[in-house]
Chains A and B, each alone.
Chain A
Amino acid sequence: MSNIWIHILFLVLYFIGLIFIGVYTGKKAKSSEDYHLGGRSIGAFVSSLSFVAAYFSSVVIIGGGGFGYKYGLATIWIGVVNVLVGCFLAWVILGKKTRVMTAKLHAISLPDFFQKRYNLQFAKTFTSIVIVLFLIIYNVSILKGLGNTFEVILNIPYTTGLLISGAIVLVYVMFGGYLAVVWTGFIQAIIMISGLVYLFFVTISKVGGLTTGVAKLQTIQQSLVETPGVWGFTGLISFMLVVSLGVWGMPQMVARFYSIKDGKAIRIGALIATIGGTMAIIPYLLGALTRIIYPHIVDVDLALPTLVNGIMPVFGISLFFIGVIAAGMSTFSSILITSSTSLIKDLWTDSLHKKMTEKQEIVYSRFINVAIGIISIAIAWNPPGLVLELTGFSWAIIASTCLAPYVLGLYWTKAAKFGALASMTGGFAVSLYWMIFTPYPVHGFIPGVVVSFVLFFVFSWIRPFKKFG
C-alpha cells in the first residue's frame, strides 16, 4: 500500500468517528439550549481540552510553524503568553464569573449576554453582525491551513483538500450541534497534542539535538535565535497580545465557560487547559528549526507540512496529518456553531423579533452552519493572506468590539449601557480603521482595545446607570 493510501485510510477512519459523534450527540439535542450549549452540563476534561483544540487550531500549527520559520525562536514567546494569558488567566478570571452570570441571565451567547447585562438590544444586534462577518475571515485562515496540509501531504490540489475538509466539518456540525463540537474537540485535542509531541522528538533528533539545532540556526542568522530578533518588539508584542488577550473577547472561546457544569469543573479545567496549552510552543520552535533542513521555503505556511512530509515515518505523517485536520476542524466547527447562534438566536429571533419554535431554531441553525461554511470555503479558494495574518485581522476586530463590555460587564457593577455602546462601536471602528490603513505599525488590536476601555469608562461616568446585580 502506498503511503498516500495509508494516510487516506487513517483519514477515512477518523472521519467516520467524527460523523458517528455528530449523529449520536445530535440525538441528544432536544432543545435549542441543548443544541447551542450542550445543556450547560459539560465536564472539566471535555470543556478544557475542547477549549485547547478550538484555540490552537491549524492556525497555530500551520501558521505558528510559518511564523517560526519566518521570524525565528522569538516566536516561542507567543506560545508562552498564549498559555499564561490565553489559557490560565482566562479560565481563572473569566471562567467562574461567566458561568454564574450567564446562567443567572439565561444568556446563551456573548451578544445575548450584552443585551441582558446592559438592557440594550442594539448591543446584541451589533455584536452578532460583527461576530458573524469577522468569524468568516477566521474560518478562511483555518481552511487555508487545512488546504495547505492536504496539498503537501496527500499531494492533491489545495482546492480539493479545502473541499474535503470543509464538507466533513459541515456534516458533523449540522447534525450534532454544540455537543458534537465539544466532544469532537476533546478527541481532536488528544490527537493534535500526540501528533505534535511525536513531531517534536523526531525533529529534535533529526537536527542532532536542540542545542545543536539552535547552534545551526545561529550560523544561518544570529537574530533567528534572539528575542525580539528579526521581528522587533513592536510586531512581536502586539501580535502576542492579539492571540492571547484576544481570546478573552472571542465568542467561540468564552462559550466554553457558559456550558461547563460547575465551579469545580472550571477549577480543574483551568489546570488541564494550561497543561494542554503548553503544546502551543511546539509549532513555533519546530518552524524555526525547519530552516536548518529546508532553508528555501517560499510560502512559509508550508514549512511544517514540508518538514513532516520530509522527516517523519509514514504512520507519524498520518498522525500529524490527522492532528492538523483535527485542530482545524475543531475550531472551524466551534466558529460555525457560534456564528449560527448569533444569527438565529441573537439576530433573527431576538433582534428582529421573528417567532420560531425550538425545533425550527435547530433546523435553521443547521442550515445557517452550511451557508456560512460554504461562504468561508468560497473565500478560502483564493486566500487573501497568510494564515496567522488573517487570524490576527479577525481577532483584532472581534476582540476590540467585545472584550471591554464583556470583562467590565462581569466585574464592574457600575458598567452602564452608554459605556458599553460607546465601547463596542468605538473599539470596532478604531480597530477596523487601523487594520486597513495602519497609521502606525502596531497591530490594530491594541488601539482598538485601548479605545474601547477608555470609551467605556468615560461614557459610564458621563451617563451612569443604577448598579447591576
Chain B
Amino acid sequence: MRTDTTEQQLLEGLALNNRKAIETIYKQHYNMVQALILNNSGYPDDARDIFQEAMIVLYEKVRSGTFELNCQLKTYLYSVCRRLWLKRLGQLQRSFSEVENLQDTVPVEDELERHEQRNRDFQVMDQSLNSLGEPCRSLLKAYYLETKSMVEIACDFGYTNADNAKNQKYKCLMRLKKIFSQNIK
C-alpha cells in the first residue's frame, strides 16, 4: 500500500520543517502511539520521547529523497515506535507483553540502524562542541544551528565586521575538526 496524496503532502511538509504538517501528524497519530506505550509498561513521558524520536526517523527518511513510504503513515510510525519502545524497555529492564497488536507493522530495522549511527555521530559532535570552549562553541552554534548570518554574528560577538567573524569561524572549525576526529575514533 502506498501513501495517499494527503499523507504525501504531509511528508513533503515535514521535509520542509512545516509547522502545520508536523502538528497534523501529531494530531492524527500521537494517541495511537501513546496507547501502545501506556499499554506496555510505559508512562506519558515515555510516549512523548518515543514519538519525538520516531518523528526524527521519519524526517531523516523524507529528507533522504523519498516521500513514499510504501505503507500508510500510521503503519510506519507504529512500526518505528514499537521497535524503539522494545529497545527502550530492554534498556530499562521493564517487561514487555504486547497484549494486542494495534496495527500492522513493516520492517524498519535498517532505517533505525542508520538513525542510531547518526545519533552516535551527533553525540560525538555534542561532546566535541562542549570540549571546544568559548567563544568557538557559541559561534559555531550561532551559524550552523541558529542559521545566523555572519553580519549578525559579528555584531553579537563583537567582531569589527563579517569578514573577521568568518575568519574566526574558520579557526573554530579547524579546532573542532581536530577534537571531533579524536573523539570519533
Chain A complexes with chain B: no
B contacts, CB < 8 Å to A: none
User: Could you tell me which A residues sit within 8 Å of B by CB distance?
Assistant: none
